[in-house]
Structure 1
Amino acid sequence: MAVNISSFTAWITIERARCPIYALKNTSPRDATCWIPSQEGKKFSVNWSNQYRDRPIYARLSIDGVVCSTHFMLDAWNYPHDSNAIGISYATTSDFTRRDFVFSAIQVTDDDAYLYTLDSPPAFGTIRLELWEADIEQVVQAPFQHRYGGEVLEGQVIHEMSKKAGAHQVKFGGEYVVPQATVNMVNGSRKGSAPLATFTFNYRPFDILLAGGIIPRPTQPKARVPGIKSEAVDDQIQDLEAQLASLRAQKRGSEGGSSSSRQKLKTHWGCDPRTGKAVQVIDLTDL
């Protein structure tokens, strides 16, 4: 499932499967927020697209309050062969290395040294993508060059009494080597006083979202006789009701006098107006 703002669309994939969204809310024409169920130990990707690419866009991705990626999507007029969709699943750590985004359990402790986390817990549980209009100064095809000095998402520890206990955080996974890619190295800056679109994906474990009413509970299906379809059950009920009525009528007839004075039951076939099916009708008017 995806979230749309104007010509922009954003969604989360977990292990390459698109993640469902819940409680979608547009807080303004340029802001949308929703909830997603996180999965411990699973890698994920933040994806977005621009349907028209009518102007260059500067994108900033923040996870748990840490800026994990900044990049540009160039306009279709000057760069018609570029893609109109981008997926971000990792943070770069050098020209040749990366670390993937991974949902992880929050570590808890009963150590009083961490009591401060009760009042000021870390900013767990939020993935935010901001899309700004951009001013482009220069675009050069060149080998990728990493910019050092960014923050890193590592495991956090909080006190066990924290309201965040039981929730998830995002960590950078293990570092791995990739070939140095040739990319568009863009010199530019964001433009304007506010983003064109802001997507906020709040994440928690499935059980927490279910308990909090964010994910609706499934309705209980009606009980059925194993191995028998409901239509067959209805037919059996009608047949048994007809037999019961016949037996009751016969009993009343046998109790009404001798065989010479009794009147025979009159039966004929008719149509049940509820179901349209043929049923046997017993005429009791003369009994």
Structure 2
Amino acid sequence: MVQSDSFSAWIEIEGVWTEEYKEEITEDEDEDGLVVTCWIASEEAKTFSVHFKDESCSAPRWRSLSADGLPVYGRVLEPKCKGCPSEVTRAIKSVPVSSTEMCPLMFLKITMTDDDTYMDSPINTKFGEITLSVWNTRLRKYHKGKAETDTSAAPSLGGPVHETSKKIGGHCIKSAFKVLDQG
């Protein structure tokens, strides 16, 4: 379980806590905060969930999840009682892929190819990463807009990826992810 102050996060594969390796805590100069990183052993064709616990949640916090460099989930986490620190625990097990369907998070083997048409396709530097971000926030009213993202730098989830572009590991995240309307 990675931890920073009163906030902790972990990943479970098919309901079993996954051990983290090489945990590092660094300062994020751009965001004035801490970054906690580690790596886990993924397991092909198995579902996983991202869990987190805030032991003293007293103000709204924005939390977002990205996988393979693509945003997949974002929500505001609020304390149980406004202004009163309380423990809040949540898990992200699946993401909406349409207004009526949810898709579980799953590790999938990266499809490799020696087809040279994929050789110059850019690979997102976050490919192979699961990122949970948390920020203190202030809630305001706003008008709904259409959420968009640029996925031109990322391969379609599940490959194919040219064999010379392969990162360590060999798994990516399977789903038909799309940016969610944050309204």
Normalised-by-shorter TM-score class = 0.7 to 0.9
Instruction: Give ranges in structure 2 of 5+ residues lacking alignment.
Output: 28-32, 177-181
Quick check: 1:68–1:91 contact (8 Å CA) kept in 2? yes
Q: 1:55 to 1:62 in 2, by over 3 A?
A: same
Alignment counterpart, residue 97 of structure 1, candidates 88, 98, 101: 101
Equivalent position amino acid for 1:41 in 2: A
| Residue matched to 2:76 | 72
Q: 1:128 to 1:107 in 2, by over 3 A?
A: same
Q: 1:46 to 1:165 in 2, by over 3 A?
A: closer
CA distance in 2, matches of 1:167, 1:75: 38
| Residue matched to 2:52 | 48
- The superposition leaves residues 183-217 of structure 1 with CA deviations (integer Å, 9 ceiling, x where unpaired) of xxx96xxxxxxxxxxxxxxxxxxxxxxxxxxxxxx
Quick check: 2:10–2:51 contact (8 Å CA) kept in 1? yes
Alignment counterpart, residue 154 of structure 1, candidates 153, 157, 166: 157
| Residue matched to 2:133 | 130
Equivalent position amino acid for 1:55 in 2: A
Q: CA RMSD in A?
A: 2.7
CA distance in 1, matches of 2:10, 2:169: 25
Q: 1:154 to 1:125 in 2, by over 3 A?
A: closer
| Percentage of matched positions with identical amino acids | 29
- The superposition leaves residues 70-105 of structure 1 with CA deviations (integer Å, 9 ceiling, x where unpaired) of 01111233398x971111121112332111111011
| Residue matched to 1:9 | 8
Equivalent position amino acid for 2:133 in 1: E
- The superposition leaves residues 230-277 of structure 1 with CA deviations (integer Å, 9 ceiling, x where unpaired) of xxxxxxxxxxxxxxxxxxxxxxxxxxxxxxxxxxxxxxxxxxxxxxxx
CA distance in 1, matches of 2:156, 2:11: 18
Alpha-carbon offset, residue 135 of structure 1: 1.3
Instruction: Compare CA radii of gyration and give the structure with the larger one.
Output: 1
Task: Determine whether 1:86 maps to 2:85.
Answer: no
Equivalent position amino acid for 2:158 in 1: G
The two structures have a TM-score, normalised by structure 1, of 0.51
| Residue matched to 1:107 | 111
Quick check: 2:157–2:172 contact (8 Å CA) kept in 1? no
Alpha-carbon offset, residue 136 of structure 1: 2.1
SS state of the match for residue 117, structure 2? Answer: helix
Equivalent position amino acid for 2:39 in 1: W
Quick check: 2:62–2:77 contact (8 Å CA) kept in 1? yes
Q: 1:153 to 1:3 in 2, by over 3 A?
A: farther
The two structures have a TM-score, normalised by structure 2, of 0.78
CA distance in 2, matches of 1:106, 1:163: 8
Task: Determine whether 1:32 maps to 2:36.
Answer: yes
Structure with the greater relative contact order (CA < 8 A, sep ≥ 6): 1 or 2?
2
CA distance in 2, matches of 1:62, 1:153: 14
